[in-house]
Chain A
Amino acid sequence: MSKQEYTITVYTENQVGLLTRIATIFSRRKINVDSLNTSPTEVEGIHRFTIVIDEAEEVVRKLVRQIEKQVDVLRAFYNTGEEIVWQEMALYKVPTDEIAEKVKVERLLREHGARAVVIRKDYTVFETTGHREETDNLIKVLAPYGLIEFVRSARVAIIKASSGFHAMLREFEERDPGEGIAENEYLAQNQQVFAM
């Protein structure tokens, strides 16, 4: 079972304490969370967690079932990088005099799609958004020019195959929902085993 990066998307009720409940599912199993973001969704009152971990699929599948089992969780999905569109934002604080003196730095930043958010006499803060490799690369590039501080946001991701949560929520609100809601996706996957 080889590990790889998975992005877990969790649709939840907006409930105090749910963050702890979900976090302990990972910490209890000594699994490090690489990135965690909570956000509103297109549906009012529904929250969305985006969690990134590096684990084997077998482990991720079990974790997702444990998450989905929580009373206030509507649905949880896991995806590989290819199945999602994702971005992370990073901020870089660099001494302003270095940039002003060296035109090269300015050019490097442009090449990396960074833009200045704040420019002060003593420092400038740049922002860039992209994949992990891109934001990481810029650290390397800026290091020789006295990078003072760096911070990266959690990942936000959209599942390519998803058609949003509006329709799904209507199903959830039904007492007798369709099969898509009343069954776990793994059962459908298992079906393929028998189709052979």
Chain B
Amino acid sequence: MPNTLQLGNAAAEAPALPQISGSEALMHALLHEGVDTIFGYPGGAIMPIYDALYDFGEQMQHVLVRHEQGAIHAAQGYARAAGKTGVVFATSGPGATNLVTGLADALIDSTPVVCITGQVFAHLLGTDAFQETDVVNITTPVTKWNCQVTDAREIPAALAKAFYIASSGRPGPVLIDITKNAQLQVFDYEGYTPCSHIRSYRPKPIVRRQYVELAAELINSAERPFVLFGQGVILGGAEAEFKAFIEKSGIPAAWTLLGLGALPTEHPLNVGMLGMHGNYGPNVLTNQCDVLIAIGMRFDDRVTGRLDKYAKQARVIHLDIDPAEIDKNVKAEVPIWGDCKEVLPMLTELVQPRQHEAWVARFREFAAEEYKEVIGPETHPQSEVLTMGEVIRIINEQDGGEQILVTDVGQHQMVATRYIRLNHSRSNITSGGLGTMGFGLPAAIGAALGRPDKRVITVIGDGGFQMTLQELGTVMQYKVPVKILILNNSFLGMVRQWQELFHQRRYSFVDITSPDFVTLASAYGIPGRSVAQRADLEAAVREMLEAPGAYLLEVKVGKENNVFPMVPQGCGVAEIRLK
């Protein structure tokens, strides 16, 4: 039995090396890397790998999705929830091209994923063989690294490199394309050696203390310092170090969409969300702070608005592990190239314990105004129609911030992330950089399988849900206990909002009809309920949260509600509108 082979340096004592196939070597590599879950879909060019997997069913769970895009989004959800590397199998040609959206999503949101694609026999490469496509070239711009393997002997080293690259430094997706002959080829297996060094790759720099000292000096002299934090804090596992830093320095901190959860939302120094639909205070006060401290974030255009009107008065400190991000969009006076986990304690040691009471109070003033104008009416509406915000409020009241929230893309995403209470890190999973509609359901499946101890709620719009609803089949087959909450406004809401505000209400192709979602779910054996009245809402949410397995709740919300505040495109952050 190949799976009973001694792993590692089995070759040392044994005179004759074990003979195994490339596919079996791949299984050993996955076991060595601690892989317990694979999301995939078989096909012609990856059959030898699936044949080998047949013998490893007890060590690794394979989740058969309904579309390869579902596989990679599930792997992303798994990776982000569990803090491990997601693994995907797909066949050549269409199987591989279906991964492209997920690869692009994982690259821009720094998610560690290793994709294994089957490929036609090496002698057929370039002949337009059945299901042959040039996957390596197609995926080059959307992977951190990729390569093709045509010889089984290269498989262990390629996999070792893939896992190392995907998970180290700024994480990202990696794709290994393995030709069918390499999968079948039997060779002398010398064991698996994990990779920990590639000479051309420097995932982490040596932190220069001198820059940390300059940053501390600047922070200590600041009157109105402001911290912006992103997913870098989570990816670096530096949540505790980050909390210690802001608590000692007393600096108010606001998060990017992907930074949500790195600091509990109820923390007194957590002043809310940045960017286009972020909170009022953090946006306006970005242009009033004197020192801006950016930690593990990349100044995305949805965060900065117009760059020439962004924090021009501020002296900027930028800490990031990716040197290409420093000075890319916003010039840093003090660049710190480094890992949050390493730099933040150095910084905390050097900053003076302070409390910026008056400055923090200004955020509270803006928050009070935002509450009066936006948050109150959205979460406790007086109108007859249901709002997205009140649904999220009820989840907070019933769950208390303990769940993992997975969102799709659009209005519901902004509302959910604005209003959700989250007590723990790695509990916010969303498609931020790429804005991939259809991300929610498959990512929630991955998150639920990666963190079986947590309740996973996915909030999805009626549009995004219909992009990947085939994954209800996966939910059914593997009894994945995801809570699916569809906020249905019978529109592609975010596009409609823009059309209302910027295109003279010309609602061009945003009117979307939906099937009966509850009946649809019941076809998959998933219980559910649809709610259109406020009187039914709390009980329905409770029923969803308390359901032992998967559950689908559809809430019919107001058709033409808008997400506010909003920094209109082409405007500065201080031009944020409350209505």
A182 near B206 with CB under 8 A, answer yes
Closest residue of chain A to B336, judged by CB?
A: A187
A24 near B140 with CB under 8 A, answer yes
A173-B206 contact, Cβ under 8 Å, with A17-B137, A69-B323, A71-B144: no
Interface size of A as a range: 35 or more
Q: Is B476's beta carbon under 8 Å from chain A?
A: no
B200 near A17 with CB under 8 A, answer no
- Tell me which residues across on chain A come within 8 A of B335, comparing CB atoms: 186-187, 190
A172-B205 contact, Cβ under 8 Å, with A62-B324, A184-B337: no
A69 near B322 with CB under 8 A, answer yes
Q: How far is the CA of A71 from the CA of B137 in the complex (A)?
A: 16
- Tell me which residues across on chain A come within 8 A of B210, comparing CB atoms: 191
Q: How far is the CA of A183 from the CA of B141 in the complex (A)?
A: 25
Tell me the smallest distance from the CB of B138 to a CB of chain A, in Å.
10
A74-B199 contact, Cβ under 8 Å, with A62-B328, A65-B323, A183-B337: yes
Tell me the smallest distance from the CB of B329 to a CB of chain A, in Å.
10
- Tell me which residues across on chain A come within 8 A of B199, comparing CB atoms: 74, 169, 172-173
Count of chain B residues with a beta carbon within 8 Å of a chain A beta carbon = 31
Q: Is A66's beta carbon under 8 Å from chain B?
A: yes
- Tell me which residues across on chain A come within 8 A of B136, comparing CB atoms: 17
A20 near B140 with CB under 8 A, answer yes
Q: How far is the CA of A12 from the CA of B165 in the complex (A)?
A: 17
Q: How far is the CA of A66 from the CA of B326 in the complex (A)?
A: 11
A12 near B337 with CB under 8 A, answer no
- Tell me which residues across on chain A come within 8 A of B146, comparing CB atoms: 17
Tell me the smallest distance from the CB of B195 to a CB of chain A, in Å.
11
- Tell me which residues across on chain A come within 8 A of B323, comparing CB atoms: 65, 68-69, 184, 186-187
- Tell me which residues across on chain B come within 8 A of A73, comparing CB atoms: 200
Q: Is B330's beta carbon under 8 Å from chain A?
A: no
Tell me the smallest distance from the CB of A125 to a CB of chain B, in Å.
33
Q: How far is the CA of A66 from the CA of B165 in the complex (A)?
A: 16
Q: Is B579's beta carbon under 8 Å from chain A?
A: no
B140 near A187 with CB under 8 A, answer no
Q: Is B535's beta carbon under 8 Å from chain A?
A: no
- Tell me which residues across on chain B come within 8 A of A183, comparing CB atoms: 205-206, 208, 337
- Tell me which residues across on chain B come within 8 A of A17, comparing CB atoms: 136-137, 140, 146-148
Q: Is B524's beta carbon under 8 Å from chain A?
A: no
A20 near B197 with CB under 8 A, answer no
Tell me the smallest distance from the CB of B568 to a CB of chain A, in Å.
26
- Tell me which residues across on chain A come within 8 A of B144, comparing CB atoms: 71
A21 near B140 with CB under 8 A, answer yes
Partner-A contacts on B (CB < 8 A): 136-137, 140-141, 144-148, 165, 197-202, 205-206, 208, 210-211, 214, 322-324, 326-328, 333, 335, 337
Listed A/B pairs (15) with beta-carbon separation below 8 Å = A17-B140, A21-B140, A24-B141, A65-B328, A68-B324, A71-B200, A71-B201, A73-B200, A74-B199, A169-B199, A172-B200, A176-B206, A182-B202, A183-B205, A186-B335
Rank and list the top 10 A-B pairs by shortest CB-CB distance, nearest first: A65-B324, A182-B206, A71-B145, A172-B199, A74-B200, A184-B323, A69-B324, A71-B201, A24-B141, A182-B205
Given contacts A17-B147, A17-B148, A61-B327, 17 further A-B contacts (CB under 8 A): A15-B147, A17-B140, A28-B141, A62-B327, A65-B328, A71-B145, A72-B145, A74-B199, A74-B200, A173-B199, A181-B202, A182-B202, A184-B337, A186-B327, A186-B335, A187-B335, A190-B335
